[in-house]
Structure 1
Amino acid sequence: MNLKELLLKGQNFISLLNEFRIDAKDLIIKDEETIFSNQTNNNTEVVKESVWIEGKSNEGLVNLFGTLHYNLLNKLAVFEMQGYEKVSA
């Protein structure tokens, strides 16, 4: 299960996507491979990482910036948004 699937299990994250009119299929977590390749995260139950999530809406691109809290053992992930940027199409 990837981070996108874990985030989409939460109603708060889905509400955030709806607020910006982002379709879940058009969602990309930037540098997701880098997050998982970090060797210091392997022995930690809960990990916090700064992330950039890019989504497409009918108005253009929406970039969400924040902190991702995740626990792969319990299959939980939460996104704490700190800011956003809209880029017109």
Structure 2
Amino acid sequence: MNLKELLLKGQNFITLLNQFRIDVNDLIIKDEETLFNHETGKNTEVVKESVWIEGKSNDGLVNLFGTLHYNLLNKLAVFEMQGYEKVPIIH
């Protein structure tokens, strides 16, 4: 199970995506593979990492920045947003 699937189990994260009108299918957690390869996560039950989540809406790209708290043993993940930016589509 990847981090995106874990996050989508939480109603708060789905509400956040709906607020920005981000399509779940167009959601990317940047550098997700490096989060799993990090030495900290191997010996710790709960890992806290800064992340950048990119999503697409009808208006363009939405970049969400924040902290990801996750526990792969219990299959839990929570995103704590600290900021965002919208990049409009230029026609």
Distance 1:54 1:6 in 2: 16
Residue 41 of structure 1 and its aligned partner are, at CA, apart by 1.3
Correspondence 1:59-78 to 2 at 5 A: 59-78=59-78
| Rounded Cα–Cα distance in structure 2 between residues aligned with 1:70 and 1:38 | 13
> 2: CA distance between counterparts of 1:6 and 1:76?
6
Aligned length: 89
RMSD of the alignment, in Å? 0.4
Task: Please tell me whether residue 6 in structure 1 is matched to residue 6 in structure 2.
Answer: yes
Alignment deviations for residues 37-88 of structure 1 (CA, whole Å, 9 cap, x no partner): 1112101000000000000000000000000000000000000000000000
SS in 2 for 1:65: strand
Equivalent residue letter for 2:10: G
**TM superposition score normalised by structure 2:** 0.97
1:56 maps to: 56
Kindly indicate whether residue 32 of structure 2 is the aligned counterpart of residue 28 of structure 1.
no
3-state DSSP class of the match of 1:13?
A: helix
- Return 5+ residue gaps in structure 1 as ranges: none
TM-score in terms of structure 1 length: 0.99
Letter in 1 for 2:28: I
For structure 2, list consecutive stretches of 5 or more residues without a partner in the other structure.
none
Moved over 6 A (4+): none
